[in-house]
Amino acid sequence: MNDVSKYLVAVIGAGPAGIFAAKELAKNGAEVLLFNRDIKPGGLAEYGIYPDKLKMKEGLRKQFSSILETPEIHYFGNMLVGEQGDIRLNDMRELGVQAILVTTGAQGTKWQGLPGESLKGVYHAKDLVYHYNQLPPYSMKKFDIGRRVAVIGVGNVMADISRYLICERQVDVVYAVARRGPAEVKFTKKELEYIVENLDMENYRAEIERAAPIMAGVGQDAQEPMRMVEQALENAEQTGSNTSFRMRFLASVRCILGNDSNQVCGLELENNTLMTDGNSIWAKGLGSRFRLDVDTVIFAIGDAVDPGFGLPVDQNEFSKNPNPRFPIENISYEGYDPATQQGIPDIFLAGWARKTSSGLVGLARKDGIGAATAMVQYLSMIKTNKQIDMAAIHTEIMLRQPKAVNQAGLAILQAEENRIAIERGIPGFKFSTNAEMAAVIESSRIPDYK
């Protein structure tokens, strides 16, 4: 264990990356201020993972809750960090924070600049995912989903969104649109099992047949994706829905079409072929276009970081120092300002804030620990804080956001949600507004800072 007990650090974002990083930092002796936009911790583990995955979600909640009991971790939920937020990075520095780890995930939208992107009926997967997982304020937002929906992208997020559209919304048809071919899908067989019952097999076979010569051109076997579907069918979950689920390969959206009421009425797509240099495979437009009649479009192509957070952004991600002082397994966890071409010495990045929309909870955990390791190396090189007055720091923070929620508040909230679930005889209950959560916590608020 490194002796950094005299250091004060901040972790921004209590998703998996931030929570596991906080644990690592506290294990090494640092006092950790853990700021989180949402009242509850967990990030996408709480508000992203599909609601039906109760066992996984409950297991993660327990792990997070146990980590947050660590005396050196001081949780401040309901606290937005950023230039327009409750507290800025410079405010933290003024509080005596010596290093800041940003684990805010990917909260921005990956806009593509397509005509029609602002039409009614165009959504981005994250917002809908937050909605059906009851994250305020998305929980209260209305999502007007029509009967014919195109989901752009073929990763696991597409699979989750399609599952929601098939099982909960029971729409007529879902088209999953892929710019590349059947061999480049990124969803897993396991996730396909939840929706494969609704796959229109006649349409899928026709798509494979259509793609086969293009696949052969880049050395691919068109039977492989067919086998994946057949294997998924062996373990298909029953959806209880008549939705027709179709995949459309080798097509890129060029324009979202709208009617007189500014509502989506279709997609204009360009046919693609596949190209390869022997290492990677990419899509190339063929010039010919076709139309898909849909009334709703959902982009599931990954997300971007929040550009208003207060750190330089480069291509949807926070800028990272290309020459890190403390690389861990060749990864740079360090902030960077491209304008000055200098590192930002006290800023570190981890999880989806470092590399957007990549990997599972386990990877975010590893990334958080990697960043914490780099931070500990940095801390051991700088001057120590003589004395850390946690009560005074707590008072300062609460002056900025009196409704910040601490561990004691979380425990009260959890107990009330559990009580309601038992009373109603349901597997779990979640409040879906901040006002309701705040009211429960306020009713028995413990004034002490921990």
Ligand X SMILES: NC(=O)c1ccc[n+]([C@@H]2O[C@H](COP(=O)([O-])OP(=O)(O)OC[C@H]3O[C@@H](n4cnc5c(N)ncnc54)[C@H](OP(=O)(O)O)[C@@H]3O)[C@@H](O)[C@H]2O)c1
Ligand Y SMILES: Cc1cc2nc3c(=O)[nH]c(=O)nc-3n(C[C@H](O)[C@H](O)[C@H](O)COP(=O)(O)OP(=O)(O)OC[C@H]3O[C@@H](n4cnc5c(N)ncnc54)[C@H](O)[C@@H]3O)c2cc1C
Residues engaged in binding ligand Y (CB under 6 A): 12-18, 35-38, 43-45, 48-49, 53, 80-82, 85, 103-105, 107, 129, 157, 160, 309, 351-352, 359-361, 364
Task: Return the number of the residue (61 or 110) whose C-beta is nearest ligand X.
Answer: 110
Task: Return the number of the residue (105 or 136) whose C-beta is nearest ligand X.
Answer: 105
Peptide bond into 137 cis (omega under 30): yes
Residue where the block lists tokens 């009926």: 121
Smallest distance from ligand Y to CB 330, Å: 19
In whole angstroms, give the CA distance from residue 439 to residue 432.
12
Smallest distance from ligand X to CB 158, Å: 6
Task: Return the number of the residue (156 or 407) whose C-beta is nearest ligand X.
Answer: 156
**40 contact choice in ligand Y, ligand X, none (CB below 5 to 8 Å, kind-dependent):** none
In whole angstroms, give the CA distance from residue 153 to residue 301.
5
Task: Point out which span in 149-157, 224-232, 371-379, 393-401 binds ligand X (CB under 6 A).
Answer: 149-157
CA distances to 111, 274, 448 from 220, rounded to whole Å, are: 31, 11, 63
Q: Kindly tell me which residue out of 24, 31, 191, 317 binds ligand X, with binding defined by CB under 6 A.
A: 191
Distance of CA 233 to the CA centre of its chain: 28
Question: With binding defined as CB under 6 A, does residue 355 bind ligand X?
Answer: no
Amino acid at 254: R
Measured from the Cβ of residue 369, the count of other Cβ atoms closer than 10 Å reads: 18
Which of 310, 370, 383 is CA-nearest to residue 98?
A: 383
Question: With binding defined as CB under 6 A, does residue 179 bind ligand X?
Answer: yes
In whole angstroms, give the CA distance from residue 24 to residue 6.
15
Smallest distance from ligand Y to CB 85, Å: 6
In whole angstroms, give the CA distance from residue 229 to residue 196.
7
In whole angstroms, give the CA distance from residue 172 to residue 164.
13
**Residue 186: exposure state from Cβ atoms within 10 A (0-12, 13-18, ≥19):** middle
Running DSSP on this structure, what letter comes out for residue 120?
B
Q: Kindly tell me which residue out of 124, 180, 354, 394 binds ligand X, with binding defined by CB under 6 A.
A: 180
Task: Return the number of the residue (181 or 351) whose C-beta is nearest ligand Y.
Answer: 351
**37 contact choice in ligand X, ligand Y, none (CB below 5 to 8 Å, kind-dependent):** ligand Y
Helix (H), strand (E) at residue 135: none
In whole angstroms, give the CA distance from residue 17 to residue 55.
20
Question: With binding defined as CB under 6 A, does residue 184 bind ligand X?
Answer: yes
Give the nearest residue (CB) to ligand X.
155
Task: Point out which span in 93-101, 153-161, 254-262, 336-344 binds ligand X (CB under 6 A).
Answer: 153-161
Task: Return the number of the residue (16 or 335) whose C-beta is nearest ligand Y.
Answer: 16
Q: Which residues 404-433 are close enough to bind ligand X by CB under 6 A?
A: none
Question: With binding defined as CB under 6 A, does residue 360 bind ligand X?
Answer: yes
Smallest distance from ligand Y to CB 414, Å: 16
Distance of CA 302 to the CA centre of its chain: 8
Q: Kindly tell me which residue out of 122, 135, 157, 167 binds ligand X, with binding defined by CB under 6 A.
A: 157
**379 contact choice in ligand X, ligand Y, none (CB below 5 to 8 Å, kind-dependent):** none
In whole angstroms, give the CA distance from residue 383 to residue 73.
21
> Interface residues with ligand X (CB under 6 A)?
112, 152-158, 160, 178-180, 184, 186, 191, 300-302, 357-360
